[in-house]
Chain A
Amino acid sequence: MSTEITFQEIIFELQHFWSKQGCLILQPFDTEKGAGTMSPYTFLKALGPEPWKVAYLEPSRRPTDGRFFENPNRLQHYFQYQVILKPSPLDVQDQYVKSLAAIGIDPSQHDIRFVEDNWESPTLGAWGVGWEVWLDGMEVTQFTYFQQCGGVDCKPVSVEITYGVERLAMFIQNKDHVKDIVWQKTPSGVVTYGDVYQESELDHCHYNFETADLSRLLQLFETYETECLHIIDQKLVYPAYEYCLKCSHTFNLLDARGAISVSERAQYILRIRTLARKCADLYLSRREPVEAST
């Protein structure tokens, strides 16, 4: 790349591009979650009949993926750039490829392929079909047509585009390690991804793998679950869903500590899915009158 675009510029360009495509540009949702899909901007909004077009950057946490910043592209905290278009437009692949051009990836100069990769989130009772996008053999984006969320059929169908921002930045900037990504060139010098995140990544890895207090986390899980159910009883979707997310993150932490055996795992996933499903049902029950009146 002759004009190397920085990490923050990549995000700017994506925001700008999708804004021009008619998307709302939303801000990250403030509860820990494993992926952009789990934001209510996706999980809840993919349900129900209303059209919805948004794009947002989502910090995502996968405690088990932490590698103390040693692995070139595995992190316990990373970024997804998420686009949801509902109903899915027929030219979505074209829009996507143009967004790559916007961040400096000229499609005529690369081999861009859409290779089957279907997506399923057992904890959310959600699945979809789609592809991973290969850029000269590197997987840079996940493409999914949601078929179900919270066990409910999505009608109309949303399409989700999830960019791995770090992967793209490494590709564009020709870096072999995520920590070397240029976040920005400031007047006082180059700031890298490592400069910004190394310290917290290491702290979190120590916490996730070594320090997290198992009995307290187990207690938290129970507490969050109880609270979630309590809120569902009161028919308040959004706060209930936030507690569902807290359960999910707490479960991920327990998992990273190796505290959950495989059989228990299935049980925990089922408990979270039950919460997610109740939230989805509640959300949908509010939509029905809307549908009836139109």
Chain B
Amino acid sequence: MSTFVLELGCEEIPARFMTELLAALATEMQTFLTEQSLSYGRVSSMGTYRRLVVSVIDLQDQQDDRTKVIKGPPLAIGQSESGAFLPPAIGFAKRVGVDVSDLEVDETGPKPVLVAKQFVKGRRSQEILAQGLADLVQRLPLRIQMRWSDSESIFVRPLHWVLALLDEHVLPVSILGVQADRFTYSHRFLGPESASIQGASISVPEASQLPSLLAKASVVLDPSDREQRVRIALSEHQQEDINDALVTEVVFLTESPTPLLGQFDTAFLSVPEPVLVACMTQHQKYFPIYENTQLTNRFLVVADNVTDQNQATILKGNERVLAARLADAQFFWEQDLKRPLASLLPQLSQVIYQQNLGSMADKQQRLTQLALGLARDLGLETDPALIQRAGGLCKADLVSLMVGEFGGLQGVMGSLYARHHGEDDQVSEAIQAHYRPQSQSDQVPDSEIGVLLGLADRADSVVASFYKGLIPTGSKDPMGVRRAIFGILMICWDRGYDFDLIAFLDQAYAQFGDQAHHRDELLSFLRQRVRGSLIETGLDYDVVDAVLMSQDSVLNVVAVKRSAQALAMFRQTQAEAFKAVTDTAVRVKRLAKTKVAQQSVTETLFSDEAERQAWQAFQLYIKSQDQVSNDQARLEGLLPLTTALVTYFDDVLVMAKDDKVRDNRLAFLAQVSALYHQVADFEKVVI
């Protein structure tokens, strides 16, 4: 058993890539070892902005020896009945290098074949790693890749050193043109005295010592240790609601994280909290300090090169930078307040939403109309004048100075400015709310106007994208169509808004003109997204498909979800009935596919009792539907009909010789099929 470690020493790797890179490094190593049939205790990866490290503990020194079985010719042509080997067998044995008399017969397949067995000596892990490491590194995911100098190599940042040790041995391997050795480097500035910011070179005697030697050179290699340092500092200041993304970011912006507590002039606290927080977190990567959920004038900066001598200087420098940023933000805030949102509209009409699709002011108008129509269709009692007002202001903050500087504050600033200028509370709330939910983990906001505008805004964006032919494919989704559709679904399901999404999107199309470009693609994309989202909630894909297919010209996502849940429940609680309904519906549907001219059913043509019984059950079902209030009841209503049809198929020959009788039966089944189809397309169900 050995310990292996690989360290790739780079120039500063972007923090946002680190988590993914380290995870991939471990996964690739595990895959590699498994493929190579090398057993191991544990693979783990660690790293900092300059280092990608993967280590393997209890690595097998050598593959197990094994016997390789090579298939040869069928026994029938390889060996005569007398047992003599024939030319195909002789040739095969020669080719694989065994004596022909050592060939064996493998009878596990349909026909017995001759096989050769070869002894394969296990290769040493040292050799295997040396051969495979360079390729393994090439397989790492590079979101942004670069070239440097006159090298042909491609990586995330220029590679400076490679440390590759199997216990005390350096592996003879070259990665991206860099020869592996046993040297690592200290922290750029904090390590032992060195001539360059590469840091002091440290010779690592054996693999397991890398982390401890780095620790002595002021490098905390394990991200969770660095995270610990940050979190301890935050908890020392009684911080509870921690910005985890920021923690991860600073963890990968440091090798020796040292939190320092700074402060700014309390006068800046007059600037709204979201702005102060954005200044600190986005631009400077500082943690704002709260006291009982109240923002204070203190912050935590996580520096990387702190000593007793420079601590005061570094802190003062950071405080100055923040002060300048806050002064800027205060200036923006005060300037913006001088202009009511409505006065920004002329400027908004200068901001092009998309070429040929008008300005952001035009978009506002479109979404306001859509929202008003939706409120009407849903029969909501919201005051249309308020919808109109909120819709007419919801994008105005995009041309405010503050949002120009902090794009992430769109909506937030609009709400603050609206409130400042005395807009109705419902209006100012809606401006911020119409962007929500912003992610899967976000909540659908309470603001009804905000939700309506949000649905309208997203519908407009989705349609705009398809209208222009910007159709999302694979990972490419420049307009964020997937996210927009997801937002629509989250809202509909949260609110239980019962409406036809296709009609709603058609209204959005109508605002762009007569031509509904790429409407078919949009609808099928939409169905895919609805399908995916429902499956994510734990519903079986076949149930989802069956229900979705039953809504071909309309798409009420609330109804679809309800029906799918009912059908899933039906399957779960009444498995046999479910199977009977499915089988019958499928049989009916297949027969109903036979085209007949006849539409209506003539009762006098019925010749069989089972036929009349089925017809009766059909009539009863239709009548009962008037009283049915939920999907569950509707499904159960199918049971008597299904029973009648089972008998019908037992007794009645649908394809009768008499054309009239046959067509009449097919016409009946077409009606029955349509009826099943209203519930679900049972052909999609996998029994």
Contacts and interface: CB of A to CB of B under 8 A. Distances in A.
Given A116-B12, A263-B355, A91 B303 contact: no
B307 interface: yes
- Range class of the B interface residue count: 35 or more
A118 interface: yes
Interface stretch (B147-155, B410-418, B612-620): B147-155
Interface string B158-181: 101000000000000000000000
B144 A157 contact: no
Contacts of B12: 113-116, 131
A147 to B, nearest CB: 6
B661 to A, nearest CB: 68
A94 B196 contact: yes
A129 B154 CA distance: 13
A137 B299 CA distance: 13
A108 B196 CA distance: 12
Contacts of B322: 137
A185 interface: no
A136 B352 contact: no
B321 A138 contact: yes
A88 interface: yes
Contacts of B328: 71
Contacts of B351: 262
A94 B197 contact: yes
A135 B327 CA distance: 19
A114 B328 CA distance: 24
A147 B146 contact: yes
A157 B149 contact: yes
Contact of B305 (A94, A112, A176): A112
Given A114-B11, A116-B16, A156-B149, A135 B197 contact: no
B146 A262 contact: no
A87 interface: yes
B305 A111 contact: yes
A90 B197 contact: no
Contact of B321 (A87, A129, A137, A159): A137
A263 to B, nearest CB: 4
Interface residues of A, number: 41
Interface string B250-275: 00010000000000000000000000
Interface string B1-43: 0000000000110111000000000000000000000000000
A136 B198 contact: no
A87 B314 CA distance: 34
Given A87-B150, A108-B189, A156-B150, A135 B317 contact: yes
A136 B321 contact: yes
B148 A110 contact: no
B324 interface: yes
Task: Point out which of B12, B160, B198, B253 has the most chain A C-beta atoms below 10 A from its C-beta.
Answer: B12
B310 A110 contact: yes
B425 to A, nearest CB: 33
Contact of A137 (B146, B317, B350): B317
Nearest to A133: B12
Interface in A84-104: 87-91, 93-94, 97
Interface in B120-152: 144, 146-150
A67 B463 CA distance: 41
Contacts of B310: 108-111
A18 interface: no
A136 B314 CA distance: 5
Interface in A135-155: 135-138, 145, 147, 155
B158 to A, nearest CB: 7
A157 B148 contact: yes
B368 to A, nearest CB: 21
B253 A113 contact: yes
Contact of A111 (B150, B157, B303): B303
A131 B253 CA distance: 12
Interface in B177-215: 188-189, 196-198
A72 interface: yes
B314 A93 contact: no
A71 B330 CA distance: 12
Interface in B36-93: 49
Contacts of A131: 12
Nearest to B351: A262
Interface in A43-84: 71-73
A111 B144 contact: no
Contacts of A122: none
A261 interface: yes
B327 A116 contact: no
Contact of A88 (B148, B284, B304, B320): B148
Contacts of B144: 118, 129
Interface in B314-343: 314, 316-318, 320-322, 324, 327-328
Interface of B is mostly: loop
Contacts of A89: 149
B303 to A, nearest CB: 4
A236 interface: no
Given A72-B327, A131-B12, A90 B149 contact: yes
A107 interface: yes
B465 to A, nearest CB: 17
Contacts of A145: 146-148, 158
A109 B313 contact: yes
B276 to A, nearest CB: 16
Nearest to B178: A90
Nearest to B160: A90
A26 interface: no
A76 B245 CA distance: 36
Given A94-B197, A94-B198, A116-B16, A111 B352 contact: no
A22 B316 CA distance: 36
Nearest to B149: A87
Contacts of A290: none
A30 B635 CA distance: 82
A129 B307 contact: no
B301 interface: yes
Interface in A233-281: 258, 261-263, 266
A203 to B, nearest CB: 23
A243 B272 CA distance: 47
Nearest to B15: A116
Nearest to A107: B189
B317 A110 contact: yes
A93 B320 CA distance: 25
Contacts of A114: 11-12, 49
Interface string B281-321: 00010000000000000000101111101100110111011
Nearest to A115: B253
Given A88-B149, A116-B14, A109 B309 contact: yes
Nearest to B303: A111
Nearest to A72: B324
Contact of B352 (A118, A137, A263): A263
Contacts of B198: 91, 94
Contacts of A266: 355
B197 A262 contact: no
Contacts of B307: 108
Given A87-B150, A137-B321, A145-B148, A111 B314 contact: yes
Contacts of B352: 261-263
A-B complex: 5 closest residue pairs judged by Cβ atoms: A136-B317, A116-B14, A156-B150, A262-B352, A137-B318
Given A88-B148, A147-B146, A176-B324, 10 more contacts: A87-B150, A97-B197, A111-B318, A116-B14, A131-B12, A136-B313, A145-B146, A157-B148, A263-B355, A266-B355
24 contacts: A71-B328, A72-B327, A73-B324, A87-B148, A87-B149, A90-B149, A94-B196, A109-B310, A111-B304, A111-B310, A112-B189, A114-B11, A114-B12, A114-B49, A116-B12, A136-B313, A137-B318, A155-B147, A156-B149, A156-B150, A171-B317, A176-B324, A261-B350, A262-B351
